[in-house]
Structure 1
């Protein structure tokens, strides 16, 4: 998809998550650079689905469903009002699947149905943090971990029970994630980011893929995954 189409779909998406989310809602927390990164990954890896964990009000889901009608868009939440809202927003589109499920259950249900899904791991289940369970289930595809510590003060990240969403956490999966990429704050993007509030860092990696399409692209910075205890 062209940058012009990313722009068109992104900034026309309603920000219904504005009341509850620290970033004010909008697709990808209103950070269009993430939309550009996703578009690159979808094209280069020829992804056939996007699996989103944690839809909230569905701002990102709505954007993805409208921008990529040729892909299966799968999402979930555990809150009834969010599931109902997202079904109203995108449920009429035949390529969408909105489920009331815990995110690891969603991944277990859909992971074998697609050749190369792009996983957007953004689940925040109140006191629980399902990220490690999600990663343990993924054996094939491209992964984006949201709210990851990229070591830049402009980009926020999450911590749960003293465990940081960052490189050390990925070390527990070093056998299938020997290296990873983050978004590159120094990169020149084709479109302006209008988010002047909180932006979340991102970690990206491919699992079970033959080619490393992120290695030489300006959007991404490569890091070796640290070994546990290092």
Structure 2
């Protein structure tokens, strides 16, 4: 898909999550640079599915379903009203799958059904933060961790108690994530970002892939995953 098509689908998506989300809703928190990053990864890795964890009101789900009708779009939430809403938004498109499920259960169900899924890990806001369990289940594909600490004050990140959504979380899986990338705040994008409020940092990395298509693109900055000390 071209930047023109990203633009067309992105800004035609209704922002139904505006009332509850800190970024005002919209696909990817109304940050079109993330849509461009996803488009690059989908094309380069020839992804055959997108698995999203935590759909909320479905702004991102709706965008992805319309922009990529040739891919399976799989998503979930644990809140009935969101599941019902998103099913009404996208279930008329036969390539979409919306389930009420805990996100690790969704990943366990679908991870072996696709050759190279793109995982969008965005489940949060509840006491049981599922990110570590999600990462433990992923053995093949391309991963985006949302609300990740990229060390830039313009981009927010999640924190649960003393546990930060940042490099040390990835360090628990250093054997399969020896390095990772973040979005590059200094990159020149083909389209301007109109999000003037909160933007979330992103971590990206391939798992079980032969090629690393992120290392030569201006959208991404590479970092070595830190070694995390474990208790004896």
- Structure 1: give runs of 5+ residues left out of the alignment: none
Partner deviation per Cα, 1:81-136 (whole Å, 9 max, x = no partner): 00000000001100000000000000000000000000000001511100000000
- Structure 2: give runs of 5+ residues left out of the alignment: none
Which residue does the alignment assign to 1:182? 182
Which residue does the alignment assign to 1:202? 202
Which residue does the alignment assign to 1:32? 32
Tell me the SS of whatever aligns to 1:94: coil
Which residue does the alignment assign to 2:119? 119
Give runs of aligned pairs for residues 13-162 of structure 1, distance below 5 A. 13-162=13-162
Tell me the SS of whatever aligns to 1:18: helix
Tell me the SS of whatever aligns to 2:216: coil
Q: Tell me, in whole angstroms, the C-alpha distance in 1 between the residues paired with 2:105 and 2:89.
A: 23
The ranges of structure 1 where at least 4 consecutive aligned residues each deviate by more than 2 angstroms after the TM superposition are none
TM-score normalised over the length of structure 2: 0.98
Q: Tell me, in whole angstroms, the C-alpha distance in 2 between the residues paired with 1:190 and 1:31.
A: 13
Tell me the SS of whatever aligns to 1:143: strand
Q: CA deviation at 1:61?
A: 0.1
Partner deviation per Cα, 1:17-72 (whole Å, 9 max, x = no partner): 00000000000000000000000000000000000000000000000000000000
Q: Tell me, in whole angstroms, the C-alpha distance in 2 between the residues paired with 1:126 and 1:189.
A: 33
